[in-house]
Structures are given as C-alpha cells and as structure tokens.
Amino acid sequence: MASSKLRGASAGHDEEAKLDMSPMIDMVFLLLIFFIVNATAIIVKTDPQVLPPVAKNSKAQEDGRGRIVVNVREDGTFTAEDFNVILADDKDIVDLVKKEKEKIIPLGIVPKLHLRGDQDAVFKYSRTAIRAAAEAGVDQVVFAVYQTHKGVRNK
C-alpha cells in the first residue's frame, strides 16, 4: 500500500505547473525606476539666432557633461545657454564661466567651453570667447557644428 504522501505526489498529473509572474513584474518595474532615476539627461538649449557651420567630418560628443555654453551670434554679440541673457563684454563671459565652473568642479567633471558660433560670424568673436574662458580657467573647447545642412537662414 502506498503512503498518503506518495498518493498526493502522484495525484496531479493532469494539472500543469504554473509560475506566479507578479514578483517578476514587480522586479521589472523596480529596475525601470532604478535606471530612470540614475539616467543623466543632458539638454543644451540652442539660440535660434545662431546657425552653426557644417563640418561633414565632425563627430558627436560622447560625454556632454560639464559644458558651459556660449553662443556667438552673427553680429558678434554673445549669449549664455539661456539665450535671453546677453553677455556684453569679455568680463561677463569670464564671470559666467567662473560661476559655471564652480558648479561643475565639485561634481568631479572637467568643465569645457561649448562654443556655438554662427556660420557667418567672424572668427575673432569666437577667439574672444575662448580667451575669456581661458582667463576663467577653462582650457577645453568644444565647437558646435552640424554634420549636414539643417536649414537655411531666413534673410
């Protein structure tokens, strides 16, 4: 005679084994939340009055952290990333770069000047921004360019 345990183990051959998926779904949501929280969103606002030049051999920057954006308009005026803020002279650029550098350095990131020069701006304006950034202690420069034509300026 078979014991009750043996009868109980052999009794359910017709039933399929089921797997509870609710812990798996919970784990997927936890991982999703973890990656969203740890993701770094890097957004660079663009000045609509600045149309960068085209450089077909340019490469996309892999690490966008630590950028201090200075826009150089066609007429030689400078703006910060918030393009409503006009930087009147070299001193304003130096002050902006120093202020942004003080925010970036404690994060362990190397600050870089992200220079968005207009394609019709004379290079001497860009040189002015580079010298001002160097005076503020930032010696790395990233030039913003397009790889293809993004449009034509409306004149």
- What is the tens place of the pLDDT at every residue in 62-121? 777 888 888 888 888 888 877 777 888 888 889 989 999 999 899 898 999 888 888 888
pLDDT of residue 142 exceeding 90: no
Q: In the chain, what are the domain boundaries?
A: 67-143
State whether CATH 3.30.420.270 applies to domain 67-143.
Answer: yes
Provide the b/e sequence for 10-43 (b: ≥16 CB within 10 Å): eeeeeeeeeeeeeeeeeeeeeeeeeeeeeeeeee
Reported pTM:
0.65
Give the tens place of pLDDT for each residue, 119-141: 888 888 888 889 999 999 988 88
Predicted local confidence at residue 28, as pLDDT: 93
